[in-house]
Structure formats: C-alpha cells, structure tokens
Amino acid sequence: MRPGSSFSHKPPAEKEKQRRDRMKDLYSTLATLLHLEPYDSKSLPEFLDRATSSLIHLKEGVERLKVRKEELEKEVSHNSKPSNSEPRLKVVQVTELVDQKLEVNMIFMVSNKKVVPFEVLRVIEQGGAEIMSSSFSTVGPHIYCTIHAQAFQARLGFDAKLIESQLMELIY
C-alpha cells in the first residue's frame, strides 16, 4: 500500500451482505410508500408483482384525475362570463353526504364584495347545519371555499336545497 492512500479492503461476503441489507431497506421503503404488506411476508417476485400492480393502479388514478380536472376547467371557463372586461365566475355546489353531513364547494371572484366568509357560514348555520371545518383559499382573482358541516340535530336534519339557493342569492 502506498503512503497517504486510505484503501480499505472488505471481503466479498461482507460487501454482498451490505448489498442485501440495502436492497432489504429499499423494499421496505417501497412497501411503506405503496401501503403494502412488508415484503418479508411474501416471496420477492410476489411482492414486486403487487408493487407493480399498485403503481399501475395509482397511475390510472392520476390519469382519471387529470381528465376530471380538464372537465372542471372547461366547466369553470364555460361559467365565466366577461362583464366589464372581468370574468364573473360563480360556482356553488352543495352535496348531502351520509350521516347527516354536508359539503359545500364554492368558487367566486375576489372582487365580489357581497360574499364574506362569515356570511357564507351564517347561511349554512341558518339552514340547520353546524360547521365542522371550513377552508377559504385565494388563488389569483378567485376564492375557493370548502365547508364541511353536519346537522345540528340528526332527527331534524338540514335543508340542502335551501342552503344552496341562499348561497346562490348571496353570490349572484
């Protein structure tokens, strides 16, 4: 060995053990990321087949979501109407979910001064629903709003059509 060189020689068996341990860690990481059973419980080819089919399923899901996004963008652009050189985007969707729950999705223009978050929440509460969570996000000239609510009293419920019509009045 030359002076000044730091060369460590590992036996081939130790290098192979390190390689196998690294591959084992990578397979475990893959199983975690894809929410699969740990690969130790199955044979490696079976595990890799499951991982492959899971990735294919995820890729198909991404493609479906891209198509849905394009459909929604077309719908949003169709609902936009130029008025005074500014589009007037208005979208309200009220969906009744199971167990007396309600989801409200809205898109409206920032310039629409009639729509204030507490007014939107007030309309929903007056319709008989208790707000569980709400999210208001401003992106460019649009405000995106998602609200989850449930009925004040399960026996009485809420009136989704009334809530939707009042929100439409508020926005329009």
Give me the pLDDT at residue 21, please.
92
CA distance 135 to 92: 15
Both tokens of residue 153? 């009293």
Give me the pLDDT at residue 85, please.
45
Fold of 84-171: Alpha-Beta Plaits (3.30.70)
Give me the pLDDT at residue 52, please.
92
Both tokens of residue 84? 């005074």
Instruction: Label residue 86 by pLDDT band (50, 70, 90).
Output: very low
Q: Enumerate the domain spans of the chain.
A: 12-77, 84-171
* First CA to last CA distance, the chain: 84
Say yes or no to pLDDT of 33 above 70.
Answer: yes
Give me the pLDDT at residue 38, please.
77
Say yes or no to pLDDT of 90 above 70.
Answer: no
Residue 150 in contact with residue 100, Cβ under 8 Å? yes
Residue 164 in contact with residue 143, Cβ under 8 Å? no
Give me the pLDDT at residue 59, please.
92
Average pLDDT over residues 136-157: 83
Q: Which residues of 106-140 are buried (b: 16+ CB within 10 A; e: fewer)?
A: bbbbeeeeebeeeebbebbeebbbebeeeeeeeee
Phi and psi angles of residue 37, each rounded to the nearest 5 degrees, phi first: -65, 150
**Percent of the chain surpassing pLDDT 70:** 85
Q: Give pLDDT tens digits for 118-140.
A: 888 888 888 888 889 989 888 88
Give me the pLDDT at residue 18, please.
93
